[in-house]
Amino acid sequence: MAEPVAMLALAIDAAVGWPNALYRRIGHPVGVFAFAINRAEARWNRPDLPAATRRLAGVATMALIVAGVALAGWAAQWLSFVVFGTWGWLAVAAMAWPALAQRSLFVHVKAVARTLHCGDMRAAREAVSAIVGRDTHEMQEAPIARAAIESLAESFCDGIVAPLFGLLILGLPGIWVYKAVNTADSLIGHREQRWRAFGWAAARTDDGMNLIPARLAAIAFCIVGGGGWRIAWRDAAKHTSPNAGWPEAAMAGALHLRLGGPIRYDGVLYDKPWIGDGSSQPTASDIDRALRIYVRGCLLLWFAAGMIEWAR
């Protein structure tokens, strides 16, 4: 039987997440990626440079980051077995664990539901602002609940399915290359004028790496949610992202809710299409239902990872 690296990494993450005490002392490993990306952006994405030059610089930045992280991941994995012998897989699992976000995502979304159940709208807005980028200061219960459910669905792919997929396919280099690319996309992969050229490579690389995981995430939600197939197939393309629409539409279908719709960013209202059928006024109880689907989805991933590693 193959070493259950993914199973152990998932178990550690589910049990402790990334503890706040540890975060306060050393931050999180993705902070290293963020530091490097921000330094590169400040140096090579100057507005006085032509767009073509900035795009080429963005491509070079992503190539260097991917190559560097892949090499570091391979070296760490190789050294684990050199130093610890047959028990090296334990070290590999420990190094993979911080790249997963099962517990963290659950805790953040549960906080939104809890504050809404208490009727504390101010605390609910603060809680949801920690997981979404849209304007939240005037939100009422329904848009807060929608934002939390949408973030839960999308982050199920970004925070769990995709990094796990990378780990199962390519080992430690796979999971951390994905996290580096995903971090780059969140920092510079935007369509605004400042980042459009320089962040092009980050956005396209992230799209490519999420192509399969996003659809696997949608399948998982449909299986454990008892439905959502029709909505996932029909509405996934309504999302501006080629991938995020899949888990979001699957969650909308499983919950019989409408997600998406008009969203305000930086004071500007964007008339985004609705995804799903049913009520467009979700409540805190709907967040609870979404979290139950999420937990079952995570358990399904545990089962799938165990079967894959056993088959090897």
Give the Cα separation of 11 and 189 in Å (integer): 31
On whether the pTM is more than 0.85, the answer is yes
**Structural domain boundaries in the chain:** 5-311
Give the phi and the psi of residue 191 in degrees, each rounded to 5: -90, -10
pLDDT tens digit string along 188-243?
998 888 999 999 999 999 999 999 999 999 999 999 999 999 999 999 999 989 99
Tokens 């796979």 correspond to what residue? 174
Alpha-carbon Rg of the chain, whole angstroms? Answer: 20
Helices (H), 17-50: 20-26, 30-44
Under 8 Å between Cβ of 247 and 228: no
- Amino acid letter, residue 19: P
Q: Check residue 115 and give its pLDDT.
A: 97
Tens digit of each residue's pLDDT, the chain (312 residues): 357 999 999 999 999 999 988 888 999 999 999 999 999 999 999 999 999 999 999 999 999 999 999 999 999 999 999 999 999 999 999 999 999 999 999 999 999 999 999 999 999 999 999 998 888 888 999 999 999 999 999 999 999 999 999 999 999 999 999 999 999 999 999 888 899 999 999 999 999 999 999 999 999 999 999 999 999 999 999 998 999 999 999 999 999 999 998 888 877 788 899 999 988 899 999 999 999 999 999 999 999 999 998 887
Name residue 275's beta-bridge partners.
Answer: 259
Q: Check residue 267 and give its pLDDT.
A: 76
H or E stretch at 274? strand 274-275
Under 8 Å between Cβ of 214 and 164: no
Give the Cα separation of 200 and 202 in Å (integer): 6
Under 8 Å between Cβ of 232 and 218: yes
Q: Is 87 exposed, middle or buried (0-12, 13-18, 19+ CB in 10 A)?
A: exposed
Q: Check residue 2 and give its pLDDT.
A: 57
* 82 CB neighbour count, 10 Å cutoff: 9
